Amino acid sequence: MKQRILLFTVAGLVLAIGGTFLLDPYRNYLLALIAAHLCAIAGLGLLIGRTGQLSLGHAALMACGGYGYALTVNATETSVPGPLQPVLGLAAAVITAAVVGLLLGTAGARLHGPYLAGLTLAVVMALPALTNEIGGLGGDQGLMVAFRSVPESLSRLIALEQWQAWVALTVAAVVLAVLSMVDAGRTGVRMRAVRDDEVAAALAGVHPGRTKVLAFVVSAASAGAGGGVLCFVDSGVRPGGYGVSLSLLLVVAVVVGGTGRLAGAAIGAALVVLLPWLIGQATSAVDLSPELARRLDGNLAVLLFGLLLIWLTLAAPAGLVSLLRRPARRSRTSPTEPSVTPIPTLEKDRQ
C-alpha cells in the first residue's frame, strides 16, 4: 500500500511539474496558490471525513505556519546557508501549527458536539489581536521575509513563478502522501472506528480522545505546511489574509471535493483559488458602475460558494465528483464505494 502511494505521489508530482512548462507565469503563480491551499484542504478533509470533527480555524493554523516560516527564515538569515533556510522554515511551519493544533485539539477535540468548531472560530477571530499583542509578529503589517529568486542552476531554464510552483507542488505532494499513509494505515482505521461508534471503539481498545486529538494535530500540521508555502510564495505573512472567510472557504473546498476524499481536495483547492479570480475577470469585462463593482468584488464569490455549499450538502454529500461520475443511476440500493464517505455524524444523539 505504501509503495503504491509513493509511486502515485512521485508520478503525480512529475506530471504536475511537467505541466508547469505549459503555463504562463501568472498561471504558475495561481498553481502555487492552489498547491498551498491544497495542503490545508487535504488536512481539513481528513479531519472532517475521518473523525467527523469540524474546524473553522484552519486559516489561523495556516497563519501559524506562515509565522513559523517567517520567524525561522528571518532568524537564520546569517547563520544558515541560503538554500537551507526555506527547508528549515517549512519544518518550523509544520511544527508551529502542530503544537498549536495539539493545544486546541486537547481543549476541543476530546469533547462531543460543536465545541471544536466554536473554539476554532474563536481562535481565528482572535488572530489579529494575537498578532498585535505578541511582540515580534509585526501587528497588522505582518512579517516580511527576504525575496527568494530561482536557484542559480535553474535560472536559465525557468521563471520565478514556475520555481515557486515547483516548491509548492513538492510540499503538497509530500503532505498528500503522508495524509494518504495515515489514512490507509492503523491510525486511519482507528479514526473511522471512533467516528462511527466511540463506545465500540473504546471497548476495542482504541482511545477515542487520543485518536481525535492526533487527527487534529495531523490536520493542523498540514495546514501549517500550506501556510509556510504561502509565506514562501508571497514573501511574507499578514494576519488580514487569514480571517474567518478563508476558514469558511476551506470548508467549502472540502465539501466540494467530497469529505474524506483526498483526490477531491485538489478540485476543491482549484475552485476556491480560481473562482474568485474568474469572477474578478468576468466583472471587469462587464461595464459596471465603480460602486457596484466594489460591492460585487469578493461578495459574489462568497455568495456562490455559500449556495454551492448548501446545495452540495443537501444533494451530494460525497462531493461534486460523485455527481459527475454517476449522473443517472444513483439508486438507493447501490452500495457506496468504501473510499467515499458521506458527511459523517458529528456525535451520537445524546438523549
Chain residues that interact with another protein, rule: CB under 8 A: 48, 52, 54, 56, 103, 106-108, 110-111, 113-115, 117-119, 121-123, 125-126, 128-130, 132-133, 199, 244, 248, 251-252, 255, 291, 294-296, 298-300, 302-303, 305-310, 313-314, 317, 343-351
**In angstroms, rounded to a whole number, what is the distance separating the alpha carbons of residues 184 and 180?**
6
Least separation in angstroms between residue 295's CB and another protein is: 5
Closest CA to 110 of 207, 185, 221, 220: 207
Element (H, E) at 254: helix 244-257
Least Å distance between CB 72 and another protein?
A: 24
CB closer to another protein out of 152 and 349: 349
Closer to another protein by Cβ: residue 76 or 106: 106
Cβ closest to another protein, residue 103 vs residue 282: 103
Q: How far is Cα 323 from Cα 312, in angstroms, rounded to an integer?
A: 10
302: cell is 462568497
Say if residues 259 and 342 touch (Cβ distance below 8 Å): yes
Q: Which is nearer to another protein, 28 or 51 (CB)?
A: 51
* 20/247 with CB nearer another protein: 247
DSSP letter at 344 equals P
- State whether the Cα torsion 217-223-226-231 is positive or negative: negative
- Strand, helix or coil for residue 261: coil
Judged by beta carbon, residue 167 or residue 309, the one nearer another protein is: 309
Rg (CA), the chain: 20
Q: Shortest Cβ distance from residue 114 to another protein (Å)?
A: 4
For the chain, give the number of residues: 351
The C-alpha cell that represents 184 in the structure block: 490507509
Which among 95, 51, 7 has a CA at the least distance from the CA of 214? 51
Q: How far is the CB of 130 from another protein (least distance, A)?
A: 7
Rank residues 64 and 169 by Cβ distance to another protein and give the closer one. 64
Task: Count Cβ atoms below 10 Å from residue 193 Cβ, excluding itself.
Answer: 18
Return the bridge partners of 144, or none: 236
| 39 contacts 225 by C-beta, under 8 angstroms | yes
- Minimum CB–partner distance for residue 312 and another protein (Å): 9
Query: What's the min distance (Å) between Cβ of 164 and another protein?
Result: 30
In this complex, which beta carbon is closest to another protein, that of residue 165 or of residue 191?
191
CB of 27 or CB of 110, closer to another protein? 110
Shortest CB 313 distance to another protein, Å: 5
Nearest distance from residue 199's CB to another protein, in Å?
6
> Which conformational region is residue 112 in: left (phi greater than 0), alpha (psi within -120 to 50 degrees), or beta?
beta
CB of 138 to another protein, least distance (A): 14
Measured CA to CA, the distance from residue 290 to residue 300 in angstroms comes to 15
Other C-beta atoms closer than 10 Å to the C-beta of 156 total 7
